[in-house]
């Protein structure tokens, strides 16, 4: 894991998210790209310089956030980016060929029923890069245990587990694999790819209606520092991707959530 992209929102959550990313990067020895996206305007006359003002505000916001974190000697490259937020973040991530996106779970406090806001939810839906979602105000701590929750035991995309393997290597993490058998599983889904068997320290089978229900059932027992899931076109969150936000009633994690990208 060589590079991480951190898209920033409002300054309060941005400082916490960036500090987590810095602490994380200091362990995995990665550099960080920080971007603040500002919108475009189509106006004339007295407001024709609005884009310049928005860019200036974004630069000042970046400077404020960077001044309020402990950089710990990590290489941090920051830049304001003009465009539509989700598309711009996705474009920059692809252009820079980053290994991971670290983002805050929620972009607005307006609706307490929302777990993933429109921007982060849109990124999860559209990008093919792995993402690490950080709860509001969460402070970094060593990742000693990960609960890897899957519905299908198949792997069709090469290197899908690579980010998880990096964490195991850098943090000496123990992986508890939870294979959730749902009513929608096929016989193939109930098998387990050798890569899962290789990375898992323990393997538990659980019969539940959804992966989320399986996670809730085993969360207290495992007490992980991070949850890891694999996003597939037909699998975890398959119905949740119909909209860009995800409600807490459908899924919520109070610890970091690593989303790997499977068969997109």
Q: Which fold has domain 3-134?
A: Rossmann fold (3.40.50)
The domain ranges of the chain are: 3-134, 145-261
* Mean of pLDDT values over 171-194: 95
Q: Give yes or no for a contact between 168 and 199, defined as CB atoms under 8 angstroms apart.
A: yes
Same fold, 3-134 and 145-261: yes
Using the Cα atoms of residue 175, residue 176, residue 178 and residue 179 in order, give the sign of their dihedral.
positive
Q: For residue 235, how many other CB atoms are within 10 A of its CB?
A: 20
For the chain, state the CA radius of gyration: 19
- Indicate the pTM of the whole model: 0.87
Which of 2-6, 206-210, 247-251 has the lowest average pLDDT?
A: 247-251
pLDDT at residue 108 in the model? 52
Q: What is the pLDDT of residues 46-91, one digit of tens each?
A: 455 777 888 888 899 999 999 999 999 999 999 999 888 888 999 9
Q: What is the pLDDT of residues 2-22, one digit of tens each?
A: 999 999 976 677 999 999 999
pLDDT at residue 158 in the model? 87
Q: Give yes or no for a contact between 32 and 77, defined as CB atoms under 8 angstroms apart.
A: yes
Q: Give yes or no for a contact between 105 and 135, defined as CB atoms under 8 angstroms apart.
A: yes
Homologous superfamily of domain range 145-261: HUPs (3.40.50.620)
Check whether 227 has a pLDDT greater than 80: yes
Element (H or E) spanning 76, and its range? strand 76-82
């Amino acid at each position: 894991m060589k590079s991480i992209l951190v898209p920033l929102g409002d300054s309060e959550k941005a400082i916490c998210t960036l500090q987590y990313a810095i602490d994380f990067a200091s362990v995995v020895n990665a550099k960080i790209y920080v971007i603040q996206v500002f919108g475009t305007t189509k106006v004339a006359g007295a407001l024709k310089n609005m884009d310049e003002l928005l860019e200036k505000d974004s630069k000042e916001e970046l400077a404020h956030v960077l001044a309020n974190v402990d950089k710990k000697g990590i290489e941090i490259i920051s830049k304001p980016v003009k465009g539509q937020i989700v598309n711009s973040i996705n474009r920059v991530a692809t252009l820079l060929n980053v290994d991971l996106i670290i983002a805050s779970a929620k972009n607005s406090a307006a609706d307490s029923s929302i777990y993933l806001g429109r921007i982060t939810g849109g990124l999860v839906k559209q990008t093919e890069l792995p993402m690490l979602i950080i709860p509001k105000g969460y402070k970094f701590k060593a990742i000693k245990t990960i609960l890897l929750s899957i519905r299908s035991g198949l792997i069709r995309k090469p290197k899908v587990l690579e980010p998880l393997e990096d964490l195991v290597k850098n943090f000496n993490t123990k992986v508890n694999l939870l294979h959730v058998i749902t009513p929608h599983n096929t016989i193939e889904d109930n098998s387990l790819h050798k890569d899962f068997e290789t990375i898992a320290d323990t393997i538990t089978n659980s019969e539940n209606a959804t992966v989320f229900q399986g996670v809730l059932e085993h969360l207290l027992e495992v007490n992980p520092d991070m949850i890891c899931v694999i996003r597939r076109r037909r699998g975890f969150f398959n119905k949740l991707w119909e909209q860009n936000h995800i409600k807490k009633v459908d899924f919520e994690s109070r610890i970091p959530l690593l989303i790997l990208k499977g068969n997109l």
